[in-house]
Structure formats: structure tokens, C-alpha cells
Amino acid sequence: MRGNLTSCSADFADLLRAVSAVPGIERIRFTTSHPKDLSDRLIEAMRDLPNVCEHIHLAVQSGDDEVLRRMNRKYTSSHFRERVAALRKAVPDIAITTDFLVGFPGETDEQFENTMRLAEEVRFDAAFMFAYNVIPNTAAEKLDGQLTKKVKNARLARLIEVQNRITCEINKSQVGNVYEVLVEGVSSKDKNRVTGLTRQNKTVNFKGDAGLVGKLVNVQATEGHLYGYVGELV
């Protein structure tokens, strides 16, 4: 029966449907999905289930296929791009966040530039970005081509600059939109303001009081910033 986990072959899309059917659940958000596991059925569930939020964290790590192979990621950059396109077609207002890891052993200048190109092309809403550091007793520790800290940090700085620009551009372009916000608490800086999250997992700060905490309210974005929005209660 659809929506019930009655079979050993049930997948994550079935789990979403089952959780969605539980009375009283207004928002469902899952933390991450490996790109190789982002099936058409999962995308369809995100499209069809009204309480599944329009946000997904899809860690790409690198935009270069050879680096991805050495990372044992089990997908290519073209597959990742195709999955993102399918997501955006099914859920047009989805926010997509990611992880980047630069400076993996053996990463060449050209391979790093492939990551930069992917960031510019895909235009993620936000990203967690890191420079590779050796972790003892891992397969990567034994790989040839370990890069210097100076090279890794320089690449990371370039990527952060590009991604932060893209994030600000996206959020500023969405000023004027009205978002459903789950109010999480009173601002630590101003007791007359509250903060909450949109369904796209973006932070909104707006005038309000503690009586709004825990409630779903509509807020219009009036300013776009790196962290999210300033808004006004509608």
C-alpha cells in the first residue's frame, strides 16, 4: 500500500511518503542525499508531497570527473548536473546546497577550474567549502600528489569568493517574495525581532515577539544577504 512501509524493497521515497501521511507533520526536511541515490522516484516524492520542504543538500565535492573517481564518489559531473536539472524542473522553487572539497591529492589547476565552472553553472544557494586535510589511516592519505597548504587555501579562498557572490545574488533576486517561515526564536541581538527558516531552509529576521515562536507565518523578504533575508510579517 502506497505510503506504508510494508516491503523489504521500500526505498527512501517510500519512507518520505509514509512520514508525509502521519497526521500533524507540517514540514519534512532530510539532511542530505548522495547524488548517486537521487532517483526519479525521490524527486517525484519531493514534487508531490506538500509537507516535504523545497530544499536539498546534495554534496558534489568536486566538478572534475577524475577527482570524483579518486574520491570514490560513484558519479560524474554530468550526472550531477542532470540530477540538478531534473530537481529544478520538478520543484522550480527548490533551494540546492552542497559541499565542496578542494585540494584533494593530485588535483591539478585544470581540475580545480572544473570545480569553479560547475559552481558558476549550477549556482547553488549556499555551500559548505573545505580544503582537504590529511586524515590518518584513510586511503587518501596514501595517494600521491599531496598539495601544499598554501595551494589548497588559495583555491579555497577563490571558491568561497565565487560562491558567496552567487548566494548573495540569488537571495537579492528573491526580495519581494513571500515565504512561509517557521519561527524558531527571538533574535539574540534585538528582543523586538524574531528569526526563523523558510521551507528552502533560509534564515529570515523580522519584527515580532516571543508569541510567534513555533508558529508558521508568512513573511515577505525585503532585503537579501549572504545569510538569508530581512523581512516583514505579512
* Among 35, 49, 38, 50, CA closest to 11: 38
- Cell triple for 101: 572539497
Average pLDDT over residues 55-78: 97
Segment 123-163, tens digit of pLDDT? 999 999 999 999 888 888 888 999 999 999 999 999 999 99
Segment 16-38, tens digit of pLDDT? 999 999 999 999 999 887 999 99
pTM above 0.75, yes or no: yes
Q: What pLDDT sits at residue 7?
A: 52
Residue 3 has pLDDT above 70, yes or no: no
CA distances from 198 to 185, 195, 211 (A): 14, 10, 18
Mean pLDDT value across the chain: 95
Sheet holding 126-131, edge to edge: 55-57, 95-102, 126-131
Residues 16, 20, 22, 28: what is their CA dihedral angle, to the nearest 10 degrees?
90
